[in-house]
Amino acid sequence: MDGQIVRRYLRQPSSSEDRKDSNNVYAKDVSLDEIRKAHDTVRKDLPEYTMDEIVKHNAPSSGIWVTYGVGVYDITSFVPKHPGSDKVMLAAGGAIDPFWHIFQQHNTKEVLTLLESYRIGNLRADDVIGTKDLHDPWSGEPKRHPILKPATLKPYNAEPPASVLVDSFLTPNEFFYVRNHLPVPEVDIKSYELEMENEKTGKSKTIRFADLLKYRKHTVTATIMCGGNRRSEMMEVKPIKGLPWGPSAVGNAQWSGARLCDVLRDMGVREGDEEGHVQFEGLDTDPTSTPYGASIPLAKAMDPRGDVLLAYEMNGQPLNRDHGYPVRVIVPGVVGSRNVKWLGKIIVSRAESGSHWQQNDYKSFSPSTDWDTVDFKTAPAIQNMPVTSAICTPASGETVKVEGGYVTVRGYAWSGGGSEIVRVDLTADGGKTWTVAKLDESEKGTGPGRHWSWSLWTAKIPVPAGQKGPIEIVSKAVDSNYNSQPESFANIWNLRGVVGNAYSRVKVNVSK
């Protein structure tokens, strides 16, 4: 495959201005395998470079070059626009193959086409990294239940069918959605150690799993929701780079473990000493041994009413590997990304976590902000999640039976920050009339501001006699602060596709 054919396959943009639209320039009839071949094909129309030459181009001042397959790419102009620019710079002047071997969401027609548009040369054959030279970081992944529907396999990210969620107030461990950013680490509990550091006092220590068991065991029932839950609905407004989550990247469980505030007191932190943050690092790492990381405000961590746990049990069972074995953080009411799994280190600091996932991800922006104008430093990291609801059954496209003039609808509702769900409203006539759902199961909580669990609900929606064809059923939840869901995803669209909490809508066909 020569350069002319490669360019025809990829329809390479001829200028930097064209590259802005390169997401849309790849030929629709070209397979992913054919596009991959371009990166393993020597371009006879381009010069050859050695790795010794490429390594000199590792900063904006010298140009940022990377290699992938046999290709050499100048991505200097692209790096500032990439949400993971800090991760990209780790590969500057070198190969991105090891990174993309882990971050396999890049192996798409869209991304590979964009990369090829920045190609400037070929890598000398002796310097090319072969797939056989790369350790397979996914070889030790755990088995998963087949009911889970993967959005990606490497890393593994999957959710159950929405109808499963309303079958039980506590989501079975095997059916709980899985959100992994990196390969699942294999942890030996006999040698497990949790590092603790208080930057304010300079105190540090290491505790073992047996030490954690010495603390009084607390149990909290709490819902965890991925920040990208329902992103697929937001994608219907405009394309978004991210996993196409449906409404099931959420689950509710009983979590048991030591309270974080109790453990931090032994590190010299006191209630009232609330200025600062608690950083968490996981044992899951990227090719540079950088761990997944996140942080929460120290005030949340130290408040006994915040119910933050260092959890080692889920629904009365030891955590399984996908859910953080042997220890994870549970931060009730807060976005799932702060509930760090496979906990390896805790740092009490004056600063937020500096990790990519705290600084350059899980933040929301105006619908008019795009990748050319976004500045992640201007937005706060998501903590408490907004009020939301989702219709779990029936599903869009189903044919439903009208019984006694009604259609039965079931779903969940939840609000972050400990707010209680007080009402769920549904309509099937465009908002002319609304039906209030019956809240079937809700956690009573342990006081105001400590309602950490979802509410499952059922509604019987009236359908006019003689109704034929499709109808759209809509739900919206209201919490104890009288916050309600926005009507449209168009008004809350954001380039990361997070905090998607617009009205839930399903279109169904009715039968008598």
The answer to whether the beta carbons of residues 442 and 455 sit under 8 Å apart is: yes
The answer to the question of residue 134 being in a domain is no
> Is residue 100's pLDDT more than 90?
no
Q: Are residues 500 and 414 in the same domain?
A: yes
For the segment 332-346, the average pLDDT, to the nearest whole number, is: 99
What is the per-residue pLDDT across 204-222, written as a single tens digit (0 to 9) for each? 999 999 999 999 999 999 9
The answer to whether the beta carbons of residues 181 and 357 sit under 8 Å apart is: yes
For the segment 287-310, the average pLDDT, to the nearest whole number, is: 96
Q: Are residues 431 and 486 in the same domain?
A: yes
For the segment 425-439, the average pLDDT, to the nearest whole number, is: 97
On the 0-12 / 13-18 / 19+ scale of CB atoms within 10 A, 344 is buried
The answer to the question of residue 14 being in a domain is no
Q: Are residues 313 and 426 in the same domain?
A: no
Q: Are residues 174 and 313 in the same domain?
A: yes
Going from the C-alpha of 358 to that of each of 329, 351, 381, 482, the distances in angstroms are: 15, 11, 6, 29
Q: Are residues 395 and 489 in the same domain?
A: yes
Looking at residue 431, the DSSP 8-state letter turns out to be T
**Average pLDDT in the chain:** 90
Determine what percent of the chain is predicted with pLDDT higher than 70. 91
- Cα-Cα-Cα-Cα dihedral of 28, 69, 152, 384, to 10°? -110
- Six-digit token pair at 476? 């919206």
What is the per-residue pLDDT across 141-156, written as a single tens digit (0 to 9) for each? 999 999 999 999 999 9
Report the catalytic residues. Answer: 82, 106, 179, 226, 362
Residues 136 and 308: their CA atoms lie apart, in Å, by 35
Going from the C-alpha of 508 to that of each of 89, 399, 430, 468, 470, the distances in angstroms are: 48, 6, 14, 11, 5
The answer to the question of residue 8 being in a domain is no
Residue type, 273: D
The answer to the question of residue 142 being in a domain is no
Task: Give me the pLDDT at residue 508, please.
Answer: 96
> Is residue 80's pLDDT more than 90?
no
The answer to the question of residue 431 being in a domain is yes
Q: Are residues 460 and 323 in the same domain?
A: no
Domain range for 308:
149-360
Close Cβ partners of 391 (under 8 Å, ≥ 6 residues apart): 162, 247, 409, 410, 411, 473, 475, 504, 505, 506
> Is residue 10's pLDDT more than 70?
no
Task: Specify the number of domains making up the chain.
Answer: 3
Residue ranges in 284-347 assigned as alpha helix (H): 298-302
CATH code for the domain of 153: 3.90.420.10
The answer to the question of residue 172 being in a domain is yes
Task: Give me the pLDDT at residue 25, please.
Answer: 37
> Is residue 423's pLDDT more than 90?
yes
Buried-exposed string 257-266: b where 16+ CB fall within 10 A, e elsewhere: bbbbbebbee
Q: Are residues 289 and 425 in the same domain?
A: no
> Is residue 286's pLDDT more than 50?
yes
> Is residue 173's pLDDT more than 60?
yes
Q: Are residues 274 and 158 in the same domain?
A: yes
What is the per-residue pLDDT across 19-51, written as a single tens digit (0 to 9) for each? 333 333 344 556 777 777 777 889 999 999 998
The answer to the question of residue 57 being in a domain is yes
Residue type, 73: Y
Give the residue carrying structure tokens 């959605």. 177
Q: Are residues 336 and 247 in the same domain?
A: yes
Number of other CB atoms surrounding residue 306 within 10 Å: 24
> Is residue 285's pLDDT more than 50?
yes
Confidence of residue 130 (pLDDT cuts 50, 70, 90): low
Q: Are residues 32 and 63 in the same domain?
A: yes
Q: Are residues 111 and 177 in the same domain?
A: no
Q: Are residues 392 and 498 in the same domain?
A: yes
Q: Is residue 109 within a helix (H) or strand (E), and if so which, with residue range?
A: helix 109-116
Q: Which of 99-113, 259-273, 344-358, 395-409 has the highest mean pLDDT?
A: 344-358
The answer to the question of residue 379 being in a domain is no
For the segment 72-99, the average pLDDT, to the nearest whole number, is: 80
What is the per-residue pLDDT across 442-460, written as a single tens digit (0 to 9) for each? 877 678 899 999 999 999 9
Supply the pTM of this predicted model. Answer: 0.80
CATH code for the domain of 438: 2.60.40.650
CATH code for the domain of 74: 3.10.120.10
Count of helices and strands (H, E) across the chain = 13, 28
